Amino acid sequence: MAHDPTSVDSTADAGPSGSTGDALPTPHTVAAIADALDRLGHREQVMHSGMRPVVAGRSILGPAFTIQAVAQPREAEQPYQRELMAVDAIPSQAVVVLSAGGVSEAGIWGELLSTRALARGAVGAVIDGAVRDLVGIGRLGFPVFATAVHAADSYGRAEVISFGEPISCGGVPVSPGDLIAADPDGVVAIPADVADRCLSDAAAKLSKEQQARQMLSGDGASVREAYARYGVL
């Protein structure tokens, strides 16, 4: 069942126009978060290796706003209807997480949708599918991660069917409100019920890595000695 768009104020912008997501708050990185999730028993939370940053942008961290699309070869008389509703419903500080339903030969995300997402206060987008308008998105400074780039329009190729519901993106289940972290290493989904513990553990690991780095570079220790003391690599 699709999210009810009538419950959303789709006319008011939720964030300042021109704002962009900050880098992952220190001390958080996707790699450290992934390691922390491993140790919490969540070992399949990193999206597959095809998910890459497609425009130069900052790292991102924020709650997921999910959108689901599917292949749709029919040319509808009124295209994009649910996609427009979805983008107008993006909450401030959210990360757009969109599954194109396996369609990679059509750009389902582009410059104008990024512009609106930015005006709503979104901090970035993660697209399991293709994007286009890379030059325009780059000018916005809006971080976008995707599995493909394709210039063709999604009209008559893919169609948004729902938003605000659990989806699969990059091979990982994502529910609305799960935390999404993305940086040059990739994208990871943090289940909401372990988010606080995960971020705390990731920060602790990075602190140990900093101490190990000093031991290796400043003290001339071997990597075995550093690992024996701090237990990190």
Instruction: Give Cα 68 distance to the centre of its chain.
Output: 14
Cα separation, 158 vs 107, in Å, equals: 9
Report the first-to-last Cα separation within the chain, whole angstroms. 45
Indicate the helix (H) or strand (E) that contains 113: helix 111-120
Cα separation, 111 vs 53, in Å, equals: 15
Q: To the nearest 10°, the Cα dihedral for 139, 187, 167, 158?
A: 40
pLDDT at residue number 144: 97
User: pTM for the complete prediction?
Assistant: 0.85
Cα separation, 173 vs 169, in Å, equals: 6
Please name the residue ranges forming H helices in 18-64.
Answer: 30-39
Cα separation, 130 vs 98, in Å, equals: 10
Q: Give the confidence band of 222 by pLDDT, cuts at 50, 70, 90.
A: confident
Q: Give the confidence band of 230 by pLDDT, cuts at 50, 70, 90.
A: confident
Mean pLDDT confidence for 14-31: 55
* pLDDT of 15 higher than 60: no
- The per-residue pLDDT for range 138-192, each reduced to its tens digit, is 999 999 999 999 999 999 999 999 999 999 999 999 999 999 999 999 999 999 9
* pLDDT of 23 higher than 60: no
Say which amino acid occupies 131. Answer: V
Q: Give the confidence band of 213 by pLDDT, cuts at 50, 70, 90.
A: confident
- Torsion angles phi and psi, residue 2, rounded to 5: -75, 155
CB 21 within 8 A of CB 140: no
Question: For the ranges 53-62, 98-107, 122-131, 152-161, which has the lowest average pLDDT?
Answer: 53-62
pLDDT at residue number 78: 84
Between 213 and 92, residue with greater pLDDT: 92
